[in-house]
Amino acid sequence: MDVYNGTTVTHFILIGLSDLPEVRYPLFVAFAIIYQVTLVGNGAILLAIGTEAKLHTPMYYFLANLSLLDMFCPSTTVPKMLHNLLTEDHSISFVGCALQLYFLVALAGTEVFLLAVMAYDRYVAICFPLRYSVIITKARCAQLVSGTWAAGFLNSTIHTVSTFSLSFCRSNLVHQYYCDIPPVVALSCSSTYVAEMLVLVVGGFSGSISFLTTLISYVYIISTILKIQSAEGKRKAFSTCTSHLLVVCLFYGTAIFTYIRPSSSRHSPARDRLISMLYGVITPMLNPIIYSLRNTEVKKALRRAVCGRVCSL
């Protein structure tokens, strides 16, 4: 359903995967399972950290916030996507689209900043182990986490206001399964210069700073580890940051593949949208798996938490 020229848009139509009707129900089952695994996996990480006193440290405090983000972020898009896969009603109200975009950009931005903070935390722990408790205090930890959330939501406020201040009077077909800045801005019938420049300047600057912070931290971390003489010392040092490094590679890898990869005429738009789900759906599911498999302390805490729950029944 399209909106004719001259008519103000009051709602949008999320295209989603509607042009692949033969796989709608298999996709519903697949993504419902993925979403449940995401919630259970990240919830288990939160349970382990909350119930295990040994894990009440800055590194796991940051991990708990990452798990919260990995629960909240897909929750802004997946329930609506599952609803669209089952029904013929793919519409979303103007306000609903604005709210979805706002929370999605805010949570994704917060995760970018948090990954940079977690990289800095590992940098201090490995490069300055004797000063770690002095530099990364509880107060500093709380400031860093609150700063990442505030920066993420402030960044989203700027982009959401600039996007939905535009005039929409042409098509209302959003070529994505959720409301995102590029497909929504593409529907505007007014000048999009300011909105696009804000994405380029504000988003590009904050994203670049976060990426460079993460990259530089790991350059120093790897350099420091390589200077350790004993193989056992290197192994222990690497074990404290490999989980986070894998999560960083997964996050930036899927983001780059989703937003920067060249378009190909061999893929239909629906298949391109399916590929974009790597970024918003698959990554949050894999993060707790990576941490639970790679981190011995988390695995032990999970076993104790699960065993304690089962034994108390």
| 6 within some domain | no
* 109 pLDDT above the threshold of 90: yes
Q: What is the pLDDT of residue 311?
A: 58
Domain residues for the domain of 162 are 11-311
| 5 within some domain | no
**Residues 135-161: tens digit of each pLDDT:** 999 999 999 999 999 999 999 999 999
| 1 within some domain | no
Is pLDDT larger for residue 48 or for residue 18? 48
Is pLDDT larger for residue 264 or for residue 192? 192
| 2 within some domain | no
What's the N-to-C CA distance of the chain in angstroms? 53
**Judging by beta carbons within 10 Å of its beta carbon (0-12, 13-18, 19+), is residue 82 exposed, middle or buried?**
middle
Look at phi and psi of residue 276 and say left if phi exceeds 0, alpha if psi is from -120 to 50, else beta.
alpha
CATH of the domain at 238: 1.20.1070.10
Q: How far apart are CA 201 and CA 213, in angstroms?
A: 18
**Residues 197-219: tens digit of each pLDDT:** 998 898 889 989 999 999 999 99
Dihedral sign for Cα atoms in the order 223, 228, 234, 240:
negative
The answer to whether the predicted template modeling score (pTM) of the entire model surpasses 0.85 is yes
Q: What is the pLDDT of residue 6?
A: 47
Instruction: Give the total number of structural domains in the chain.
Output: 1
> Which residues are CB-contacts of 46 (< 8 A; sequence separation ≥ 6)?
64, 67, 68
